[in-house]
Amino acid sequence: MTESAPQSAPAALPAGVRDVLPVEAEELRAVEGSLRERFALHGYREVMTPVIELASVLERAQEGPAAPAYRLFDDRGRVLTLRPDLTIPAARLVATRMAERTGPVRVFYVARAFRPPPAGRPRPAEERQAGIELVGPSGPDADAEVIALLVDALTAAGLEGVRIGVADVSLTAAVLGALGVGAPAAGRLRGALAARNFVAWRRGVATLGLAEDEARLLADLPTLRGGVDVLSRVEEAVPEAAAACARLARALELAGGRDGGADVGVDLGVLRDWPYYSGVVFEAYAPGVSEPVAVGGRYDGLGARFGTDRAAVGFAIGLELLHRSLAQRSRPDGPRRGVVLVGGLGPEADTARSLRAAGIPVAATGDDPVDADAAADEDDWRYVVRRDGPGFSVRDRRSGERFSCGRPEEVLPSRP
Amino acid sequence: MDALAAAGLDVGPLRAAGRRLVVSAADGTTYVTTRPSDVPTYVESGAADLGIVGKDVLHERRPDVYELVDLGFGGCRMVYATVAGEDPTPGVLEHLGTVRVATKYPVCATEHFLSTGREAEVIKVNGSVELAPLAGLADGIVDLVATGRTLRENGLVEREPIFESSARLIANRVSHKLRAGEIDALSGRLERAVGAAR
């Protein structure tokens, strides 16, 4: 050991990142696994994009100032970005590497995005996301497919009480256009909505000089929530928005038709922060987490920025948020299936092999004196198995029983 | 509290809370009492579904919550003030480039000077801001004033209004969706209640 390094200082991590220990990692992987399976069953195939990209390429997707991201230089002085989200890299991949495909392109990803936490706010800098992109079809069927898949995936992961709010940025734009709201005023209203500030929204509406019933509709617009019937109010007041209303109603009807029980409804207050959304936008809310567990929408103009102009719709699920909501409801109780096998590295190696072949994890000990019971306690394995004459003695930490058996690999797999 | 009562909530237990910080009413409402600057924290994290807090705190903290209703009461203004007599600010800026501003609201103060094209050195203090220019800690202060009496008594004069503040009803992002019906109904009743009071 060197004498110069101060070993007493805590080995801290950068702000916003953390380690994941075995129990959580296992649970996160289980959630990931069930999402992967559902995506695959709906015909989506996995893609992987690099963690770093050229900033000049990713920033094509953005308007205005560069979004918060970790940036660094490569050996030639070019600015690289640690991907701040996965929608843009996935759109880039599909637009460049799968440009020649004519049919619908269905891809999914399970990966991590990185965004520096804002000053003074303890937010994670690293987020695990699982998402899909459906590229090609532009109709309400595609919107519905994606919303139904989101419901299916969240339900399969074990989430209960999920609610999905759906809006359409083209509907809001049609209403503003029909009421003659100019670009500067519309920009201010959009800003109020993005800040979730309904007080500023209503004040902005009040300064537009609209007729009373038009002003009331516009003031209420971001709080319109419920079944498709709330759209009829918009349609009656603003006939120019009828097409957008009909499209959204159709998408919701199809999404609901494909998957019963879930609570999928209109919520015209949903507004995604990224400016690239062009049509339907939606968020999924789950009990016990303070942010949407999934967000998504249609971004038909995004592919063109990377050279292939195709319609696209997709979503991303926040894995940590989903896991948090799931973990609050159900925690597996009792020790995990697995054996600490005394002598498994030496004389009992054959038994270790047989147990593993039977699908039971085995933590084997060797000749070193190890307290097998303490080891089982620490890692929470269910069984401690020791050689005992011709057979083995087994201690079951779940039931507290001790018993003898000849061949543990035949007895343990069938125990309740 | 009167507004909550007028909106049909059972505020009896809240009035009788004494020093208890969490009280539950018979109508199923649970009231949590915190210092104003902590209200957005509780609501943003979802520990509370709804909160009532001044716009000044929202300006300063920028929480990611829904701002639903301007409740109208608790009205006051965020202002920039300096000692009476000639405003020292232009001179200080001309000769020194930077004006020193003491405040409990560093975000609001920084933004105000940035948006008016001036450089400010913002000094965070935790109380009795009026003292700072008198003792020579700062050239001016950014603070919340209701009547302006404290400013006057300390020989300070309001120079620039920054924004008007009043109490706001805020909602957690997810509660606003998962409990949409209840929250819409309550915010509607509160809006009517404060509208009638005005």
Count other Cβ atoms within 10 Å, centred on residue A34.
17
Distance of residue B27 Cα from the nearest chain A Cα, in angstroms: 22
pLDDT tens profile B26-40: 888 899 999 998 999
Residue B78, pLDDT above cutoff 70 = yes
Residues of chain B contacting A283 with CB distance shorter than 8 Å: 177
- Given an 8 Å threshold on Cβ–Cβ distance, is B177 in contact with A165? yes
Residue A165 contacts B where some CB pair is shorter than 8 Å? yes
Q: Where are the beta strands (DSSP E) in A14-57?
A: 45-46, 52-54
Domain B76-165 in the same topology as domain B2-73+166-197: yes
The reported pLDDT for the residue numbered B28 is: 84
Q: Using N-to-C axis directions, what is the helix angle for A169-178 and A242-258, rounded to 10°?
A: 160
Tokens of B158: 């309001």
How far lies A383's CA from each of A177, A336, A354, A400, B189, in Å?
69, 9, 15, 10, 60
Residue A199 contacts B where some CB pair is shorter than 8 Å? yes
- Alpha carbon dihedral A99, A105, A106, A110, in 10-degree steps, equals 10
The reported pLDDT for the residue numbered A62 is: 77
| Residue A371: φ, ψ to 5° | -80, 100
Of A163, A199, A226, the CB nearest to B70: A199
Distance of residue B180 Cα from the nearest chain A Cα, in angstroms: 8
- 3-state SS, one letter per residue, for A104-122: CEEEEEEEEEECCCCCCCC
The Cα–Cα gap between A362 and A354 comes to 10
The reported pLDDT for the residue numbered B127 is: 87
Least confident among A190-199, A322-331, B90-99, B146-155:
A322-331
Q: What DSSP state is assigned to residue A414?
A: G
Length of chain B counted residue by residue: 198
The reported pLDDT for the residue numbered B181 is: 87
The reported pLDDT for the residue numbered A323 is: 93
Domain B2-73+166-197 class, CATH top level: alpha beta
Residue B65 contacts A where some CB pair is shorter than 8 Å? yes
Q: Which domains does chain A have, with CATH numbers?
A: 22-329 (3.30.930.10), 336-414 (3.40.50.800)
Residues of chain B contacting A195 with CB distance shorter than 8 Å: 67
Of B78 and A413, which is predicted with more confidence? B78
The reported pLDDT for the residue numbered A263 is: 84
Return the residue in A270, A290, A322 with the most chain B beta carbons within 10 A, the one to mutate for interface testing: A290
The Cα–Cα gap between A284 and B173 comes to 11
Residue A116, pLDDT above cutoff 70 = yes
CB A199 within 8 A of CB B53: no
| Residue B107: φ, ψ to 5° | -65, -45
Return the CA Rg of chain B: 20
**Which residues are CB-contacts of A48 (< 8 A; sequence separation ≥ 6)?**
A109, A111
Q: Provide DSSP, A49-65.
A: --SEEEHHHHGGG--SS
The reported pLDDT for the residue numbered B145 is: 93
The reported pLDDT for the residue numbered A76 is: 94
| Residue A301: φ, ψ to 5° | -90, -5
Q: Provide DSSP, B72-124.
A: --S-EEEEEEEESSS--HHHHHHHHS-EEEEES-HHHHHHHHHHTT--EEEEE
| Per-domain residue ranges of chain B | 2-73+166-197, 76-165
Residues of chain A contacting B168 with CB distance shorter than 8 Å: 199
CATH for B76-165 is 3.40.190.10
- The percent of residues in chain A predicted with pLDDT above 70, rounded, is 94
Length of chain A counted residue by residue: 416
Residue A216 contacts B where some CB pair is shorter than 8 Å? no
- Given an 8 Å threshold on Cβ–Cβ distance, is A290 in contact with B67? no
Q: Identify the band that residue B161 occupies on the pLDDT scale cut at 50, 70 and 90.
A: very high
β-sheet bridge partners, residue B145:
B77
Residue A338: which H helix or E strand, with range?
strand A336-341
The reported pLDDT for the residue numbered A327 is: 85
How far lies A164's CA from each of A160, B69, B100, in Å?
12, 24, 49
The Cα–Cα gap between B110 and B121 comes to 8
Of A195, A223, A288, the CB nearest to B184: A223
Residue A44, pLDDT above cutoff 70 = yes
Residue A273 contacts B where some CB pair is shorter than 8 Å? no
pLDDT tens profile A214-270: 888 899 888 888 888 889 889 888 899 999 999 999 999 888 754 445 688 899 888
Residue A226: which H helix or E strand, with range?
strand A225-226
Distance of residue A196 Cα from the nearest chain B Cα, in angstroms: 5
* Token pair 């209403």 in the structure block, residue: A175
CB A138 within 8 A of CB A160: no
The reported pLDDT for the residue numbered A293 is: 95
Q: Assign A171 to helix, strand or coil.
A: helix
pLDDT tens profile B114-143: 999 999 999 999 989 999 999 999 999 999
- Given an 8 Å threshold on Cβ–Cβ distance, is B68 in contact with A198? yes
Residue B45 contacts A where some CB pair is shorter than 8 Å? yes
Residue A206 contacts B where some CB pair is shorter than 8 Å? no
The reported pLDDT for the residue numbered A87 is: 92
- Given an 8 Å threshold on Cβ–Cβ distance, is B174 in contact with A285? yes
**Which residues are CB-contacts of A400 (< 8 A; sequence separation ≥ 6)?**
none
| pLDDT average, residue stretch B59-86 | 92
Tokens of A198: 């309904």
Distance of residue B61 Cα from the nearest chain A Cα, in angstroms: 9
Distance of residue B82 Cα from the nearest chain A Cα, in angstroms: 29
The Cα–Cα gap between B198 and B193 comes to 9
Residue B44 contacts A where some CB pair is shorter than 8 Å? yes
Residue B168 contacts A where some CB pair is shorter than 8 Å? yes
| Residue A264: φ, ψ to 5° | -110, 120
Residue B183 contacts A where some CB pair is shorter than 8 Å? no
**Arithmetic mean of pLDDT over chain A:** 88
Within 13 Å, how many C-alpha atoms sit on residue B160's CB side?
16
Residue A197 contacts B where some CB pair is shorter than 8 Å? yes
Sign, Cα dihedral of B55, B58, B59, B60: positive
Q: Assign B194 to helix, strand or coil.
A: helix
- Given an 8 Å threshold on Cβ–Cβ distance, is A199 in contact with B177? no
Convert A327-350 to b/e letters by CB count within 10 Å (16 or more is b). eeeeeeeebeebbbbbbbeeebee
| pLDDT average, residue stretch A328-355 | 85
The Cα–Cα gap between A85 and A317 comes to 12
Residue A18, pLDDT above cutoff 80 = yes
- Cα A25 to the center of its chain, rounded Å: 16
Residue A3, pLDDT above cutoff 90 = no
pLDDT tens profile A312-326: 999 999 999 999 999
Residue A164 contacts B where some CB pair is shorter than 8 Å? no
Residues of chain B contacting A269 with CB distance shorter than 8 Å: 66, 176
Q: Identify the band that residue A182 occupies on the pLDDT scale cut at 50, 70 and 90.
A: confident
Minimal-distance CA residue of chain B relative to A165: B177
- Of A63, A44, A56, A186, nearest to A110 by C-alpha is A44
